[in-house]
A and B are shown apart, each in its own frame.
Chain A
Amino acid sequence: MTWSEMSPLLWEATGQTAVMVGWSTLFTVLFGLPLGVCLAGTDRAGLFPAPVVRRVLGLVVNVGRSLPFIVLMIAVIPVTRVLTGTTIGTAAAVVPLTIGAVPFFARLVETALREVGRDVVQAAEAMGAGRVTIVTRVLLPEALPGLVAGLTVAVVTLISYSAMAGVIGGGGLGDLAVRYGYQRFETTLMVVTVVVLVVVVQLAQTVGDAVARRLSHR
């Protein structure tokens, strides 16, 4: 395979990966952040203790995390159909990707929020701040570097998950490597795809680290 043959394939696959990872990252933050806040907040020592709620949430999150992504992707097909009207394609892949990453990211959010000192939260309580104020103006800003670090890990995980999206016709770099590199013995393309994936992950990690460092004033 020549470069001019590979180039359009690579661009298309990279674009598909970007779309899948981009949208699922957005939805992961949208759902995972509040879920993480709930996980941290409902803890016995949290801002709004609710042991039963916490146990239920914890259970759901753990079930989500214990499924291998490839199994989860198939298992949630009915949900995908309801949400996107289709079960194959790049858009359809966003649903299992999001469902797979939300519990994972929620745990990372929970950990990041726990890192915020109890004394800081109590100081805010002593100043008469309510729970919403404490979440939005104390917990989240204080945990921001940790949240960004967690998001970086989530993005890298999503990139890795998205490699399996070929199974449901999602396309992307992983799919390209499997279809051409493996099934058609296009070793050159395989190597190039691997390089592109490594570069993309490296880029995500570097940008994430830099942002986290800039945000941290500790």
Chain B
Amino acid sequence: MITVTGLRKAYGEVVALDGVDLHVGKGEVFGVLGRSGAGKSTLLRCVNLLERPDEGTVTVDGRELTALGAADLRRARQRIGMIHQHFALLSSRTVAGNVAFPLEVMGVGRAARARRVAEMLDLVGLADRAGAYPAQLSGGQKQRVGIARALAAEPSVLLSDEATSALDPATTQSILALLRRLNRELGLTILLITHEMDVIKAVCDSAAIMSDGRIAEAGRIPDLLATPGSRLAAELFPLPPAEPGTVTVAVAADQTLLSRLTRAYDVDVAVVGGAVEQVAGAPAGRLRLRITGAGAADALTHLRERGLMPEEDR
């Protein structure tokens, strides 16, 4: 749905993007994680060409945006929703007026506009605040308006620029739950950037980690957790320092792994550290285990063969 190849962007001496390739599949929620200054914001703004890259191509929904003229680009942007860290709502318009804005830009008629606005406000649970002004809303409500506005034009893709960074934890969770629901119900493809690990855990199917203008690592989260030396896995599920005789095991959909190990190989499994959480609605995580007993060697082989043992500690 979104394909980015060889993206480069420099501001004078500062290289913001240093050859970025990225692919986001249809219906996927893809999170780009990075510290401030890593280039993730520039990357996101290159996807709808708010920033024009110095080099590279951007293709969204089968259309190469980097090859479009100004008028075609504007039309293409109407199909790419975007939500912002500080909401970027028009303070002079009511909630309904804000949601109607992209429809006005597209030239949708008044009646159709009103229908669509009502539908959108229903979707984000703000039908009763249609006449309120943004200044009268809480942060979470403002972001809901932002989401309703971004989706009003029925985009195939939603870009999220640190959409929850200005919100408190509880509100963050409710906004993330909403994004997840929209992803499921509408088949919406979402590309989000964040510096918060919890955002990745809560909604993303796939993730990439960015530093110094490059993608250091990218992939589906369960795969990353099972990848030896994965930085993302280490950031998502930090483990206590390695001890001799322990192994690190990736936990994914296979929730009965440990009990089956003990039965099949006659071993004792002790959990030394780690965590398992819901990631995009399914359990995932990493555990550091000490496996002892007669079949320990076979158990380890089994884990290794199944690709579940990203790190063997000695």
Do A120 and B88 touch (CB < 8 A)? yes
A117 to B91, CA, bound (A): 10
The 8 A CB mask of A194-212 against B (1 = contact, 0 = none) is 0000000000000000000
Asked if A175 is an interface residue, CB under 8 A from chain B, the answer is no
Asked if B135 is an interface residue, CB under 8 A from chain A, the answer is yes
Do A127 and B88 touch (CB < 8 A)? no
A144-B92 contact in complex given A123-B84, A128-B75, A217-B133, C-beta closer than 8 Å: yes
Do B92 and A123 touch (CB < 8 A)? no
Do B48 and A137 touch (CB < 8 A)? no
A91 to B134, CA, bound (A): 45
Q: Which of B37-90 contact A (CB under 8 A)?
A: 48, 50, 73-78, 80, 82, 84, 86, 88-90
A123 to B73, CA, bound (A): 15
A141 contact from B76, B84, B89, B93, Cβ within 8 A: B93
Do B90 and A127 touch (CB < 8 A)? no
A218 contact from B91, B101, B104, Cβ within 8 A: B91
The 8 A CB mask of B134-145 against A (1 = contact, 0 = none) is 110000000000
Asked if A5 is an interface residue, CB under 8 A from chain B, the answer is no
Min CB distance A195 to B, Å, is 38
Q: Which of A115-145 contact B (CB under 8 A)?
A: 117, 119-120, 122-130, 133, 137-138, 141-142, 144
Chain A residues, CB < 8 A from B104: 133, 137
Do A217 and B92 touch (CB < 8 A)? yes
Do B82 and A128 touch (CB < 8 A)? no
Chain A residues, CB < 8 A from B133: 217
Do A129 and B93 touch (CB < 8 A)? no
Asked if B234 is an interface residue, CB under 8 A from chain A, the answer is no
Chain B residues, CB < 8 A from A129: 74, 105
Chain A residues, CB < 8 A from B82: 123, 126-127
Do B105 and A127 touch (CB < 8 A)? yes
B50 contact from A117, A120, A126, A142, Cβ within 8 A: A126
A141 to B98, CA, bound (A): 12
Chain A residues, CB < 8 A from B213: none
Do B84 and A119 touch (CB < 8 A)? yes
Q: Which residue of B lies closest to A125 (CB)?
A: B50
B80 contact from A126, A130, A137, Cβ within 8 A: A126
A215 to B133, CA, bound (A): 12
Do A127 and B92 touch (CB < 8 A)? no
A128-B92 contact in complex given A119-B86, A137-B104, C-beta closer than 8 Å: no
Asked if B106 is an interface residue, CB under 8 A from chain A, the answer is yes
Min CB distance B111 to A, Å, is 19
Chain B residues, CB < 8 A from A215: 92
Min CB distance A49 to B, Å, is 14
Chain B residues, CB < 8 A from A130: 74
Q: Which residue of B lies closest to A133 (CB)?
A: B105
Chain B residues, CB < 8 A from A144: 92
Min CB distance A141 to B, Å, is 4
Do B135 and A126 touch (CB < 8 A)? no
B134 contact from A124, A127, A141, A217, Cβ within 8 A: A217
8 pairs across A/B with beta carbons < 8 Å? A119-B86, A123-B82, A126-B159, A127-B153, A128-B77, A128-B102, A128-B105, A217-B92
B residues whose Cβ falls under 8 Å from a Cβ of A: 48, 50, 73-78, 80, 82, 84, 86, 88-93, 101-102, 104-106, 133-135, 149, 153, 159
A residues whose Cβ falls under 8 Å from a Cβ of B: 117, 119-120, 122-130, 133, 137-138, 141-142, 144, 215, 217-218
| 3 closest cross-chain pairs (CB), A and B | A123-B88, A128-B77, A128-B78
10 new A-B contacts at CB < 8 Å, known A126-B50, A144-B92: A117-B86, A119-B88, A125-B77, A126-B159, A127-B82, A127-B101, A128-B106, A141-B90, A142-B91, A218-B135
